Amino acid sequence: MRKVLTIAGKELRSYFVSPMGYVVMVFFLGVCGLIFALTVSHPQAQADMRGMFHTMVFITLMMAPVLTMGLLAQERASGSMELLMTNPVRDWEVALGKYLAAMGLFTGLCILSLEFPLILEKYGDPDWGAILSGYLGLLFCAMAFIAIGLFASSLTSNQIAAAILAAFMLLFFWLIGWLSMSVSQSLGDVVKYVSIYENFQDFEKGIIDTKPILFFLSLTAFALFMTVRSLEHRRMI
pLDDT at 7: 83
Q: Considering the entire predicted model, what is its pTM? A: 0.88
**Which pLDDT belongs to residue 92?**
80
How far apart (Å, rounded) are the C-alpha atoms in residues 160 and 77?
A: 12
d(CA 141, CA 42) in angstroms, rounded, equals: 28
User: In whole angstroms, what is the distance from residue 23 CA to residue 36 CA?
Assistant: 19
Could you write out the DSSP letters of every residue in 94-126?
HHHHHHHHHHHHHHHHHHHTTHHHHHHHHHS--
pLDDT tens-digit series, residues 100-145: 999 999 999 999 998 888 888 887 777 888 889 999 999 999 999 9
Q: What is the spatial distance between Cα 178 and Cα 48, in angstroms, rounded to a whole number?
A: 26
Q: Which residues constitute the domain of residue 161?
A: 2-236
Residues of the chain with pLDDT under 50: none
Work out how many domains the chain is built from and give that number.
1
